[in-house]
Amino acid sequence: MPSILNNVTAMSASRQIGVTQHGLRQAIERLTTGKRINRASDDAAGMAAGTAAEALARTAREAVKGHQVSYFSAQASDAFLEEATNLAFRLAELEGSGNSATAEYSSVHTLIASAVTASGATVTTTGISTAVLANIATARQTFAATMATANSNANIQGITSENQFSISDTWMGADIGAEMVNLTKYQIMMQSGVSALSNANQSSQTILGLFRYLAF
């Protein structure tokens, strides 16, 4: 029955348009940001879980850099010891040719000491070539262990970072396919809602038409 007190049909249609408008705005926002959760009201618990996972991911990602620095530092030190090894081979050659008392022999010893100092290792460089080479080899083993450990730790932290970012994305990331469906749905609902509201408002015009009919 038509009523002049309240157009409940129009009120309901208007309220539903508001709901649809909110859904449409949310779908557009998710598509433009790529995030399912853009504010706490979207999913407070999900936001807490997602941001916590991202924090762990960022921490692990930075830790990777620290391990990489350790790796390359040890690699540089080992390179200095590689040069010291090559110089020690020259000592062996001089010893084999009976020239261990020459100025060159002394100079090579000095160069070995300089290379070892640059490496940061504590290596005894005095004595014959075999002893020097053995001492250098021991130090290089230490650097090799450092590089292997740093490389492994960098990989572990890298995996941790990847997994935590994946967890964060699971909580926070928008399902683009689903949001495209929602966008289309809400666009259609908005158009039909506006049309329905227009029709609901026509009921008032029907009553006015009745009054005009009675006036004649």
Encode the chain (216 residues) as per-residue pLDDT tens digits.
555 556 677 788 788 888 888 888 889 999 999 999 999 999 999 999 999 999 999 999 999 999 999 999 999 999 999 999 999 999 999 999 999 999 999 999 999 999 999 999 999 999 999 999 999 999 999 999 999 999 999 999 999 999 999 999 999 999 899 989 988 988 888 888 777 777 767 766 665 555 555 555
3-state secondary structure of 35: strand
Q: Tell whether 39 is covered by a domain.
A: no
Q: Does 137 share its domain with 212? A: no
Q: Tell whether 204 is covered by a domain.
A: yes
3-class DSSP string for 140-198? HHHHHHHHHHHHHHHHHHHHHHHHHHHHHHHHHECCHHHHHHHHHHHHHHHHHHHHHHH
3-class DSSP string for 83-149? HHHHHHHHHHHHHHCCCCCCHHHHHHHHHHHHHHHHHCCCCCCCCCHHHHHHHHHHHHHHHHHHHHH
67/64 Cα distance (integer angstroms): 5
Q: Does 160 share its domain with 81? A: yes
Q: Does 112 share its domain with 24? A: no
> What was the pLDDT predicted at 186?
84
Q: Which domain holds residue 71?
A: 44-173
Q: Tell whether 119 is covered by a domain.
A: yes
> What was the pLDDT predicted at 24?
87
> What was the pLDDT predicted at 15?
83
Q: Does 101 share its domain with 179? A: no
> What was the pLDDT predicted at 199?
73
Q: Does 146 share its domain with 133? A: yes
Residue appearing with tokens 């026509």: 202
For residues 190 and 25, the answer to whether their CB atoms sit within 8 Å is no
Last residue of a domain, one of 173, 188, 206: 173
> What was the pLDDT predicted at 17?
82
Q: Does 125 share its domain with 184? A: no
Q: Does 213 share its domain with 143? A: no
